[in-house]
Amino acid sequence: MADALEQQILGELKKGTGKPALLKKLDTKDNHDDLVWYLNHLPTGKGRKDCQWINWLLVIVLLALTVKKLYFMAMVQLNAAAINQFSPMLLLDLIVPAINFYVLSKIIRFHRQGYQFMAVLGVLALVRPENRIVPDLALYLIIISLSIFLLLRLFPKQDRITY
């Protein structure tokens, strides 16, 4: 859940208030670091609205890929249990979908970290041979390109707030 400062910043950004004006308006001695962090990791209301459909496309592709991976992992685990070859090590395959769901929560809320993580994780996923087959390869390339595009579009360097 988002904390009160994040909700306040989101509300102001949606109204169209600029990041430097928000920094002047909400800055106190106690919340300066958190305020700067939120301002650097949340897009402006206009950027959020302009890229909303691209963001939803990224969410849908990532969710489809994650559900597909979960389905195949469940089938492997059920087959292993059926022939008495189940091992707790098979549960380690659930780490990737868990990370994907965490990143999905960041992307749905338009957090900068989500796009950064997804770009890196998408490239790292291509290291595994099973991710380089045709349907998965195309999905990972779409995820990488959309993540980088949204990262550059929503969080340009000139909009960064410095301490």
The 10 Å CB-count burial string (b at 16+, else e) for 99-127 is ebeebbebbeebbbebbbbbbebbeebee
How confident is the model over 1-14, as pLDDT tens digits?
468 888 888 888 88
C-alpha distances in angstroms, 131 versus 33, 69, 96?
Answer: 39, 10, 13
Q: By the 8 A CB rule, do 55 and 110 touch?
A: yes
Contacts for 4 with CB less than 8 Å, ≥ 6 apart: none
How confident is the model over 68-89, as pLDDT tens digits?
999 998 898 888 888 988 788 8
In terms of pLDDT, which residue wins out, 134 or 115?
115
- Residue 55: closest CA among 128, 132, 114, 135: 114
- Residue 139: closest CA among 126, 127, 128, 151: 126
What is the band of 152 on the pLDDT scale with cuts at 50, 70, 90? very high
What is the band of 140 on the pLDDT scale with cuts at 50, 70, 90? very high
38 CB-contact burial (10 Å; exposed 0-12 / middle 13-18 / buried 19+): buried
What is the value of pTM for the model shown? 0.87
How confident is the model over 90-106, as pLDDT tens digits?
788 889 899 999 999 99
